[in-house]
């Protein structure tokens, strides 16, 4: 049943936009960060069979395909979140569809709250590892054997070669690039100060409400994955101010130029 849904969605996208070699998932406030892409096809999520629709500001709900530095690239302008009421299988659907379309490399991005007190809003952070604090996993249920094993190894979630390329690219562009561990909370409420203290004690440098399920699905599919967080705000209890989604969107737009340059350089290096 799930494979049928994946196949139908992939067929609709391939007909309208073609296949792809590289997949890019853009987080809150980062949906316009693909200016250098030579667009060849665009499809609204509402026109893709079985696709949920994003309900969160900053997520456009569009599948864009094109070429960048000779590579076929599929861009998701916006994602689905578990807190929107979608199933964990819904969250993994686009990644599995990408694999069906030929994607072997996935770059996943997000807006995140800074837990590491050495971070500043506007910093970009390479994700070295993740902590799943949600209690759910997209690999639960019957295993899709066509994609990967029942018990996939997560020792190296993020591809060493892609991490190295990102570091070299950032240095060449003069972009300050932090590195750290991303911790997934289900949301939609922002984390409490006590939860942030716990996250720091557990080794997290940033927190957010996405990305981890997509990474799990991608690694199960055998994709090489790179993750980048935009630190859009400091997490609860670090600064004496309330948190709000508008700050997330504003900071994402502020760093768009450097973020786009970094993504462009990484795709070129793949």
Our answer to whether residue 84 is catalytic in this structure is yes
DSSP 76: E
184, 211 contact by CB (below 8 A)? yes
CA–CA separation, 59 and 78 (whole Å): 4
**End-to-end CA gap in the chain:** 34
- The mean pLDDT of the chain is 88
Out of 165, 170, 204, 209, the active site residue is 209
229: helix, strand or coil: strand
Cis, peptide link before residue 188, omega less than 30° from 0: yes
Our answer to whether residue 186 is catalytic in this structure is no
Q: What is the pLDDT of residue 245?
A: 52
pLDDT digit string (tens) for 189-247?
988 989 999 999 999 999 999 999 999 999 999 999 999 998 987 765 465 555 555 65
Q: What is the pLDDT of residue 32?
A: 61
- Biggest distance spanned by C-alpha atoms of the chain: 51
CA–CA separation, 219 and 214 (whole Å): 9
CA–CA separation, 44 and 174 (whole Å): 35
Out of 9, 12, 28, 45, the active site residue is 28
pLDDT digit string (tens) for 129-173?
999 999 999 999 999 999 999 999 999 999 999 999 999 999 999
Of all helices (H) and strands (E), which one includes residue 256? Answer: helix 256-269
Which has the higher per-residue pLDDT, 182 or 233?
182
Our answer to whether residue 60 is catalytic in this structure is no
Out of 65, 233, 258, 261, the active site residue is 233
Which has the higher per-residue pLDDT, 103 or 58?
103
67, 189 contact by CB (below 8 A)? no
Out of 33, 110, 210, 229, the active site residue is 210
262: helix, strand or coil: helix
Q: What is the pLDDT of residue 225?
A: 98
Q: Which two tokens stand for residue 251?
A: 């900071």
DSSP 183: E
Alpha carbon 12 to its chain centroid, in Å, reads: 22
DSSP 168: H
Out of 12, 65, 74, 81, the active site residue is 81
- Predicted confidence band at 37 (pLDDT cuts at 50, 70, 90)? confident
DSSP 208: E
Q: What is the pLDDT of residue 26?
A: 87
Our answer to whether residue 220 is catalytic in this structure is no
The answer, yes or no, to whether residue 12 has pLDDT greater than 90, is yes
* Closest to 77 measured CA to CA, from 60, 92, 95, 55: 60
User: Which residue is listed with tokens 């590491």?
Assistant: 116
| CA distances (Å), origin 222, targets 45, 55, 102 | 25, 30, 11
Our answer to whether residue 258 is catalytic in this structure is no
Q: What is the pLDDT of residue 120?
A: 87
Our answer to whether residue 233 is catalytic in this structure is yes
Out of 16, 83, 179, 198, the active site residue is 83
Q: Which two tokens stand for residue 149?
A: 């094993």
Out of 33, 84, 223, 236, the active site residue is 84
Q: What is the pLDDT of residue 179?
A: 98
Superfamily of domain 2-269: Nucleoside phosphorylase domain (3.40.50.1580)
Our answer to whether residue 59 is catalytic in this structure is yes
**Angle subtended at Cα 64 by Cα 121 and Cα 180, rounded to the nearest 5 degrees:** 30
Angle subtended by helix axes 256-269 and 160-173, to nearest 10: 130
User: Which residue is listed with tokens 């390479």?
Assistant: 126
Out of 10, 92, 98, 111, the active site residue is 111
Our answer to whether residue 28 is catalytic in this structure is yes
């Amino acid at each position: 049943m799930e494979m049928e849904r994946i196949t139908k969605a992939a067929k609709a996208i391939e007909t309208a936009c073609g296949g792809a070699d590289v997949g890019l998932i853009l987080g809150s406030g980062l949906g316009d960060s693909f200016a250098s892409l030579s667009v060849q096809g665009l499809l609204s999520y509402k026109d893709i069979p079985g696709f949920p629709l994003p309900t969160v500001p900053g997520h456009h709900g569009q599948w864009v395909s094109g070429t960048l530095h000779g590579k076929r690239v599929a861009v998701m302008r916006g994602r689905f979140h578990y807190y929107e009421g979608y199933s964990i299988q819904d969250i993994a659907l686009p990644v599995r569809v990408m694999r069906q379309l030929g994607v072997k490399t996935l770059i996943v991005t997000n807006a995140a709250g800074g837990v590491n007190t050495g971070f500043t809003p506007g910093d970009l952070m390479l994700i070295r590892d993740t902590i799943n604090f949600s209690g759910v996993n997209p690999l639960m249920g019957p295993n899709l054997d066509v994609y990967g094993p029942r018990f996939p190894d997560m020792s190296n979630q993020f591809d060493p070669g892609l991490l190295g390329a990102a570091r070299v690219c950032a240095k060449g562009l003069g972009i300050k690039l932090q590195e750290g561990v991303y911790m997934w909370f289900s949301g939609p409420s922002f984390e409490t100060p006590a939860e942030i203290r716990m996250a720091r004690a557990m080794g997290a440098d940033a927190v957010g409400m996405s990305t981890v399920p997509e990474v799990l699905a991608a690694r199960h599919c055998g994709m090489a994955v790179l993750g980048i967080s935009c630190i859009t705000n400091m997490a609860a209890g670090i600064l004496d101010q309330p948190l709000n989604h508008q700050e997330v969107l504003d900071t994402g737009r502020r760093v768009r130029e450097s973020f786009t340059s970094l993504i462009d350089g990484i795709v070129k290096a793949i």
